[in-house]
């Protein structure tokens, strides 16, 4: 049995009447994600202990103004700089587009501002030739955890496997004008500005590549627990991280 032509026509008319409402709803969602905030999923452990694999965070678009990568679907025109731009602060956790591959989005901590001299020596961070203080704060999954205090007094936690790892000794990086130096809090397991774009790393990040400031967690779940593993669900959802502020 098939529908008669008049019935099909009535259905088509009904769908057509709904299209403006659907278009408006999609437009509002896109506008919010472009102008106000956008969710971001953490896929790697490069920012532990601050961010865990499986975290879903909300990132503020208006914190730094808007650049050519602010639209989640690439609707912004190609231009340098930022509209209504606000300079990011040292220590911010920043969502940005990878300079060598702008289709890829990263999240790291902003360590170096334009004109800064950044270097790692024997596992210790130096900013403008001054060692950044750190104090022991226990362990994280068996690795050493420290609280690091950046110039200006802002504190955050970092994890170190050792102070003699691959990128624990570097040359001095002088941050160019209108660029930033990003590092992961998981210092020995982070592809960041210590590695140049030519070597497959991040390198210096231009200001127009900034997308948003990571402000707050929405929720968090352990990606190793499958949806069919019902018995493990109570342990998969990290309830203590719900709506937590990102420091």
Residues annotated as part of the active site: 46, 108
Tokens linked to 77: 């025109």
Which run of H or of E encompasses 234? helix 233-236
For the chain, list the strands marked E by DSSP. 37-41, 55-60, 93-98, 101-112, 117-121, 124-127, 130-131, 134-140, 143-149, 155-160, 173-174, 179-183, 205-206, 210-220
In whole angstroms, what is the distance from residue 136 CA to residue 127 CA? 20
CB 186 within 8 A of CB 176: no
Backbone angles phi, psi at 129, to 5 degrees: 70, 10
Count of residues for the chain? 247
In whole angstroms, what is the distance from residue 188 CA to residue 27 CA? 42
């Amino acid at each position: 049995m098939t529908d008669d032509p008049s019935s099909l026509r009535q259905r088509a008319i009904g769908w057509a009447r709904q299209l403006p409402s659907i278009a408006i709803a999609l437009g509002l969602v896109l506008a919010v994600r472009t102008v106000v905030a956008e969710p971001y999923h953490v896929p790697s452990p490069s920012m532990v202990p601050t961010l865990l694999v499986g975290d879903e965070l909300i990132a503020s678009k208006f914190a730094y103004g808007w650049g050519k990568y602010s639209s989640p679907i690439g609707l912004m025109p190609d231009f340098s700089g930022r509209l209504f731009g606000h300079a990011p602060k040292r220590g911010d956790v920043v969502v940005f587009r990878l300079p060598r591959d702008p289709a890829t989005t990263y999240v790291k901590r902003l360590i170096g501002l334009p004109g800064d001299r950044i270097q790692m020596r024997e596992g210790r961070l130096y900013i403008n030739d001054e060692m950044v203080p750190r104090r022991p704060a226990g362990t994280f999954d068996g690795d050493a955890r420290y609280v690091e205090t950046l110039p200006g007094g802002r504190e955050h936690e970092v994890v170190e496997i050792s102070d003699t790892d691959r990128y624990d000794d570097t040359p001095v990086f002088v941050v160019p004008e209108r660029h930033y130096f990003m590092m992961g809090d998981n210092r020995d397991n982070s592809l960041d500005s210590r590695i140049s774009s030519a070597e497959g790393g991040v390198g210096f990040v231009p200001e127009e590549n900034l997308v948003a400031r990571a402000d707050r967690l929405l929720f968090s779940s352990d990606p190793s627990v499958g949806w069919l593993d019902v018995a493990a669900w109570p342990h998969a959802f990290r309830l203590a991280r719900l709506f937590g502020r990102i420091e």
